Structure 1
Amino acid sequence: MQFSSGEQTPLRLLDEANFWKHQEYEHTNVIREIVPDLERKFVEELKEWEQALTRTHSQVVQLTETLVRYGNTQPVVADQALRLISFSLEQSGRFVKFLFEILDLSQAVKKNPTAAAVIKHIIRESEYFIGITQTICSQG
């Protein structure tokens, strides 16, 4: 991934990450709420995801504030943004993989068609974040 041009590209990418990392965090709660009998293994993993997504979201907010305050005239700031966006994409990819694991392995989800539909929707939303971010990067 590369910021090929456009001074606002890092800020735009961080704005997307800000929104979607918060969404993914909220999705961990939604899944636990709609599947009250979800297996303990998955509940614990969702709690771990919640913490990880919160940390990433906080980093995105902090870096966004730095960019707004100082601009991306400092190469180190743009480089930090690039690394954080790359990490965010990888994290979302791993989150999607985990959600597919829940769909495949959770008996509680298999017997709850509504929960399965919601999880599939959540997967599509995270995949959208990955796709839109990659598109913004390619447009630079």
Structure 2
Amino acid sequence: MMKQYHRIQVAVDGSKEADLAFRKAVLLAKGNNAGLEILHVIDTRSFQNVSSFDSEMVEQVSNDAKEKLQKYYNDAKEAGIDDVHFSIEFGSPKAIIAHDFPKKHQIDLIVVGATGLNAVERILVGSVTEYVTRTADCDVLVCRTPENQN
């Protein structure tokens, strides 16, 4: 018998891979009658390279993320998911997606998109998806195909 999921987390960043993961997470949430947590992590390391740290830039990035998350939220509601929330977190995407957020929200399934990084970038930067699949305490689904493809 397949496991019944109760709280599903989907990490989104605006990429096509994240959109694919979101669509599959919606289907899984509907099929399991589960709650859906839509998560976007703003990597604070990206602001360390800016010579004059500007709070307006952080606010703009946050506002852009909120607009995207509101669209995901609306799409999930239209799909018939009643228990849906979205969150914007700041910090290390790897730690937040794999550990901090799931623990705080009792997540039992994390849905992520497969990365588009090439081998050199994975070695130098490290893949968030690879880290999540290797270290998360709950099940992880890595989405590579459209939701209507077997």
Instruction: Indicate the structure (1 or 2) with the bigger Cα radius of gyration.
Output: 1
Give the structure with the higher percent helix. Answer: 1
TM-score by length of 2: 0.31
TM-score by length of 1: 0.32
